Amino acid sequence: MAPMGIRLSPLGMAVFCLLGLGVLYHLYSGFLAGRFAFFMLSEPAAGGPESPHGSAPGGAVDLRELLAVSVLAAVRGGEEVKRVREGNVLNAKAKGKTREGAEEQLTTGDLLSNRRMYYLLKGAFPAVQINSEERVDTADQETVPWDHSIPEDIKQKIQPKEVPAESVTVWIDPLDATQEYTEDLRQYVTTMVCVAVNGKPVIGVIHKPFSSYTAWAMVDGGSNVKARSSYNEKTPRIIVSRSHAGKVEQVARQTFGNKTVIIPAGGAGYKVLALLDVPEKNQEEADVYIHVTYIKKWDICAGNAVLRALGGHMTTLTGEEIIYTGSDGNEGGLIASINMNHKALIEKLPDLEKTSHK
């Protein structure tokens, strides 16, 4: 008798293999799909890393956070300004002429301060437009991180307030009073940051690098500085640019009387601080700040915001509000005051407006 044996059908083998593959598919397909989805969700969005908190493109910006970063930026820029001046490595050179024909100076302090301030603000709020006095060299880009910490004095006085990112423009002055900086007149030097919302200045930061004093204020928020309480409106002390003192003095004395005091000074930031109660031994005091020629907006935006927050005014010589969008220059000169009748001051100075376009 022939031995008994088992013969496997080729068709049966094929069916068996197909059933096995089906079981394996059901077991592992869910796992692999889950892993793939996790991998895709874990990848950063195209175009780079996630945007920092409060600054997603097209999103909202918290003004309290922006104030905190602005203060830090002014201080960090001031550190560069101070380090360059004390090391006497200014490398000063002319970058052009003003409309009055004076040489504009550019130093290493301007450039290093600008780089530090710009990239700190841009890193924290990439969706916000930033205008700076100095050109930003993308080849010299650096990462300046912000740890999202908010100083206690800002926490105590300022409440969170969100605005659309597209409504915000930041104005940076990385070194105000460069001419005085080259002359080692350190008391006039400031670094400044201003935040404008829909063209209106709402946050101002003025930092004095050589004394480490910082004034900040937010409109409808709070401030760490106050206005002075004593003024003499009949014979005010008028603070003006050193180069314009003679031009203003004649008209001012004709308007207010021969007892009017003219204070020549450098830097728009310094001049605004002169109107406030500033605990600085090298800070002069004035009642009115007047500028009679064209001036750049990054020079005046921070001071304008501080004055507005404290109930003061900064306008053109004809009383028009200065809008901080569009062009970077203000053609109409300016007059600034606080706790005074600003309209009456403007009416007393009609002749100055004629010189503001020269």
pLDDT (tens place) for every residue of the chain, 358 residues total: 444 444 555 555 555 555 555 544 444 444 343 333 333 333 333 333 334 444 444 599 999 999 999 999 999 999 999 999 999 999 988 876 565 556 678 999 999 999 999 999 999 999 999 999 888 776 677 777 898 899 999 999 999 999 999 999 999 999 999 999 999 999 999 999 999 999 999 999 999 999 999 999 999 999 999 998 777 767 789 999 998 888 788 777 877 788 889 999 999 999 999 999 998 888 999 999 999 899 999 999 999 999 999 999 999 999 999 999 999 999 989 999 999 999 988 888 765 555 555 5
CATH number of 60-223: 3.30.540.10
Query: Does the annotation mark 138 as catalytic?
Result: no
Based on its alpha-carbon atoms, the radius of gyration of the chain, rounded to whole angstroms, reads: 30
Catalytic residue among 107, 110, 191, 214: 110
pLDDT at 20: 57
If DSSP codes are grouped into helix, strand and coil, which group holds residue 261?
Answer: strand
CA gap 21, 59 in Å, rounded: 49
Q: Which residues are annotated as a binding site?
A: 133, 173, 175-176, 299
CA gap 117, 130 in Å, rounded: 10
Q: Which CATH number is correct for 226-348, 3.30.470.10, 3.40.190.80, 3.40.109.10, 3.40.50.620?
A: 3.40.190.80
Helix-helix angle 108-124:63-87, to 10 degrees: 160
pLDDT at 38: 34
Q: What is the C-alpha end-to-end distance of the chain, expressed in Å?
A: 127
Catalytic residue among 107, 169, 178, 316: 178
Name the CA dihedral angle for 65, 70, 75, 77, rounded to a multiple of 10 degrees.
Answer: 130
Q: What are phi and psi of 327, to 5 degrees?
A: -65, 160
pLDDT at 29: 44
CA gap 244, 261 in Å, rounded: 14
Q: Which residues are annotated as a binding site for Mg(2+)?
A: 133, 173, 175-176, 299
| Contact predicate 338/227, CB 8 Å | yes
Query: Does the annotation mark 318 as catalytic?
Result: no
Length of the chain: 358
Domain chopping of the chain, boundaries: 60-223, 226-348
